[in-house]
């Protein structure tokens, strides 16, 4: 098999990339406060929250267990059944508590940094 590896060898190599061979669980607790304001014929949405994530049966140290975030957005109904929504969210520690599976010994360095995302949504009701 010139240049090709047997499937078992490929699977064994991929298993080495896993953070551990045994399962672990993520318990996430979150609190958030939302405020909505009517403004400019639309709605301003704000949300501030805090998440705590604990890994159970995880064999490595979890450096980041909490994450704070702030979300601000604006929604406006353009027609009876058409709404547009623009928002942004800023997180203190990447996606800690949002996507718990992402946290591994190899990816932990990313959680030291803030993370943000912008969203644009168009909603149409039939």
Closest by Cα among 50, 61, 59, 58 to 97: 50
Q: Name the 3-class secondary structure at 23.
A: coil
Determine the straight-line distance between the first and last CA of the chain, rounded to whole angstroms: 56
pLDDT tens, position by position, 4-36: 778 888 877 777 766 677 888 889 999 999 999
Boundaries of every domain in the chain: 24-124
For residue 19, the model assigns a pLDDT of 66
100 DSSP 8-state letter: G
Average of per-residue pLDDT across 97-102:
79
């Amino acid at each position: 098999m010139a240049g090709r590896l047997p499937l078992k060898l490929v699977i064994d190599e991929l298993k080495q990339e896993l953070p551990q061979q045994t399962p672990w669980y993520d318990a996430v607790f979150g609190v958030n406060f939302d405020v909505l304001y009517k403004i400019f014929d639309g709605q301003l949405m704000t949300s501030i929250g805090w998440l705590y994530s604990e890994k159970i049966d995880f064999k490595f140290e979890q450096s980041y267990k909490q994450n704070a975030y702030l979300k601000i957005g604006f929604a406006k109904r353009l027609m009876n059944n058409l709404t547009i929504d623009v928002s942004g969210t800023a997180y203190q520690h990447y996606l800690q508590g949002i996507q718990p599976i992402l946290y591994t010994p190899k990816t932990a360095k990313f959680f030291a940094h803030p993370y943000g995302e912008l969203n644009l949504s168009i909603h149409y009701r039939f």
